[in-house]
Amino acid sequence: MAPVSLDLIQPEAKKVKKKVSAYIAKPVYSSIQESSSSTDVVFGTIVVDSSLLESKIGEILKHRFQARGDIKVHLNRNWENIKVGPNFLVNLKSCSPDTLSPSNYLKIELWDEGVKLGEFSFNVKVAHLQNVYFAQKTLDRGARLSDDFFKIRKVDTLKQYANSVVAGANLKGYEIASPIRQDIPLKWNHLSKITLINKGAVVDVFAAGNGIYVTMKGMALEDGVEGSFVRVKNLSSDKEFHAKVLNENSVKVHL
């Protein structure tokens, strides 16, 4: 594949090398070297190679999309190394599609000491590494969730592990909707909310509004999960209304 063209680099971008004190240079260079083991720092000059650029773009994408976990980027074409100063900047002009996906088309600018060195565009492969729940044993339909059922593994959630349940997700009120085999990642389509109120059940109705607070008995006319709205019939007046499910025995309605 053809290397990225550097024709757009402006002539005035050439700068005289300056001596940088060891005290100032140490934190700047050390942070860059952590990002790329192949980065060369000589007399205040940094070589932006593909590894360093990929690391920088990964940081930018993580910030842009407020992503948790780690973002890894791989250029789909060759990159010609560029020498810059320690305070160079990478500016992301556009990202298509404008969301994290296995493949993104990017347009970037490279700046050094206020001088734009050039504009570049290319496709990148993106991996979003997150801690995901994996079943430690076969889980049957209807099983209530417990931390003991799962182990955690870091995987790429943009590809075959898309829609997986990330470790730390709030699973309160969910149960297994379809069986899961051992070592299979837990996905949201494996889950369903637990039915708290069944059709025909007698429930406590709490009604409030405009300074009025009333309790009464009602009959649920449909199944309901936590936070959902169900039709309820007042046992005294036979009037029907919608109420929000609070728990297994109670619903709430605003007057």
Assess contact for 97 and 104: CB atoms under 8 A. yes
Q: What token pair was written down for 164?
A: 């997986």
The reply to whether 80 falls in a domain is yes
Peptide bond into 97 cis (omega under 30): yes
Assess contact for 116 and 109: CB atoms under 8 A. yes
Domain boundary among 99, 127, 155: 127
Evaluate if residue 1 carries a pLDDT over 50: no
Q: Does 19 share its domain with 121?
A: yes
What is the count of structural domains for the chain?
A: 3
Return the pLDDT at 254.
Answer: 87
Domain boundary among 193, 213, 230: 193
Domain encompassing residue 62: 11-127
C-alpha–C-alpha distance, residues 95 and 108, integer Å: 9
Return the pLDDT at 43.
Answer: 58
For residue 223, give the CATH number of its domain. 2.30.30.760
Evaluate if residue 158 carries a pLDDT over 90: yes
Evaluate if residue 24 carries a pLDDT over 70: no
The reply to whether 4 falls in a domain is no
The whole-number average pLDDT for the span 153-163 is 94
Evaluate if residue 237 carries a pLDDT over 50: yes
What number of helices (H) and strands (E) belong to the chain?
Answer: 2, 17
Assess contact for 134 and 184: CB atoms under 8 A. yes
Confidence of residue 211 (pLDDT cuts 50, 70, 90): confident
> pLDDT tens digits, residue range 53-89?
999 999 999 999 999 999 999 999 999 999 999 999 9
Mean pLDDT, all residues of the chain: 85
The whole-number average pLDDT for the span 199-212 is 91
Scan for tokens 């070297």, then name that residue: 33
